Amino acid sequence: MSDIKQNYLNGSWEPSDVVGDSYSPATGQIIGRYYEASESQVEDAINAAAETFEMSPWQHDRELRAAALNELADLIEAHSSELVELLAQENGKVLGEAGFELSLVPSKLRYYAAQALVDLGYGAQTKKGAFSTLLRQPIGVAGVIVPWNSPVVLSVRSFAPALAAGCTAVVKMPAQTALVNARLAEIVSKATKLPAGVLSFFTESGDEGSKLLVRSPKVPVISYTGSTKVGRQIMADAAPHLKRLSLELGGKTPMIVFDDADLDEAVGTIVAGITTFTGQFCMTGSRILAQQGIAQQLRQKLKSALAAVEVGPGDAPNSQMGPMIDRAARDGLVERIKEKSANAEVLLRGGPPEGNEDGSGAYYRPELYAVQDTDSALIQEELFGPIATFEVFENENDAIQRANVTEYGLAASVWTQNGQRGLRMADRIDAGTVWINGWAAVFDQFEEGGFKQSGLGRLNGNRALEEFQEVKHVVQFA
């Protein structure tokens, strides 16, 4: 316990005056300590990032950026097993899910290493004697605000395209994963090709550092992953400087199952959609929409499968679903469900396991509710836990109306063996990603993001790079 984790700022390790404790969500016990970053330290990191952007070769040297990103990919890949273990212990996700998170990181860094080399503008002779060149230039310092549910991959998902574009970055990491944050920073600090000041990490339990990133005139772009409520506040606070914003926000993913679907395949994926990261995931498959012909059969299969989920510590080999991030999140979910489920039919009662209602672990077993009223809070609100609703629909039009009824539009899943129907549904669903006979497949080269209140901008793919670039038109007359 004597090793207090410091913040990695401007290429050096810094303590502070405030020490925080990191807790195991499985036991409630302290597993480590960390220094809370102060506002002055965050401000210094911003100043250093701005100076590095202006004075170093980073923004102009594509080969350097590509080499640094490839080096980071190699380093994280070499130490991924350590990060997997830490995620399971501190974040609570089971080992398989932690391993899945880490498996996404190296390829993402290598993809943007390649993008650093191939990203181009274009030119043309626009008329006789006039030549136009369109240049893409890095926008400056990127402020990255990371959630606790997948801190490694979601930090990389934002800072990798920022660095590839030629920006520098200051990354706010969540206190709930302070030990993971520190280990990630330690790995990054080993990179020999990454100039000091290009990438800084700080951890805080509050939001003063995050607010400083959003308010600072030296940080022209913010990349945030988190709730819609906070995203709206960031947008308002960033308005005085007209900042560029990339916001991936809340979701309420419908899982739409037609009569002709392969139910056995669908059920396994839907259960994963409800229980992955203990439902603390923007793409959690929290709404099950079943066509009338198979509704009763699907309901019984889901009840049995969800009841059989093995809940336990994230680092226990047999655990299929870990605890929630902490007791506060678990207890808050208990209260929200008590309030919002009053008129819903309980298909499967979950909640805190028997004997754990007042215990130290933040466990919450999966729950399933039958709800037909689309105005229900269980359908309309993102609950951020292993809670799912079960709705019955008649036909495609009914399914579309139900799927699009919430303010969210991050993702959706359609299950049918009719290929034309799947594409028709994908065309009409208001969501940034639609999977047909699948769920949660994400690819580095294809963009992801939300419609409606699920966000602004896109991450992954070419578009992610553009979030951190300005476009300049240069006209030269002969």
Residues belonging to the active site: 248, 282
Q: What residues does 245 pair with on adjacent strands?
A: 222
What residues contact 335, with CB distance under 8 A and at least 6 apart?
Answer: none
- Burial class from Cβ neighbours inside 10 Å (0-12, 13-18, 19+) for residue 10 reads buried
**Exposed, middle or buried by CB within 10 Å (0-12, 13-18, 19+), for 100?**
middle
Tell me the DSSP string of 328-385. Answer: HHHHHHHHHHHHH-TTSEEEE--BSPTT-TTSSS---B-EEEE---TTSHHHHS---S
Helix axes 208-215, 228-238, angle to 10 degrees: 40
Q: Which secondary-structure segment (H or E) carries 401?
A: helix 396-403
> What are φ and ψ of residue 239, in 5° steps?
-60, -40
> How many whole angstroms separate alpha carbon 428 and alpha carbon 265?
24
* Integer Cα distance of 24 and 416 in angstroms: 41
CA-based nearest residue to 473, from 134, 176, 155:
134
DSSP annotation string for 3-26:
-EEPEEETTEEE--SEEEEEE-TT
Counting every residue, how long is the chain? 478
Cα–Cα distance, 145 to 233 (Å, whole number): 13
- Residue whose tokens read 């699009």: 404
**Measured distance CA(323)–CA(303) in Å, rounded:** 20
Which pair of structure tokens corresponds to residue 474? 């240069």
Q: What share of the chain is helix, strand, coil (3-state, %, to 5)?
A: 40, 25, 35
Q: For residue 355, give both structure tokens.
A: 């004997």
CA 38, CA 9: separation in Å to the nearest integer? Answer: 12
> What token pair was written down for 235?
């947008």
CA distances from 169 to 28, 46, 87, 211, 220 (A): 33, 8, 23, 15, 11
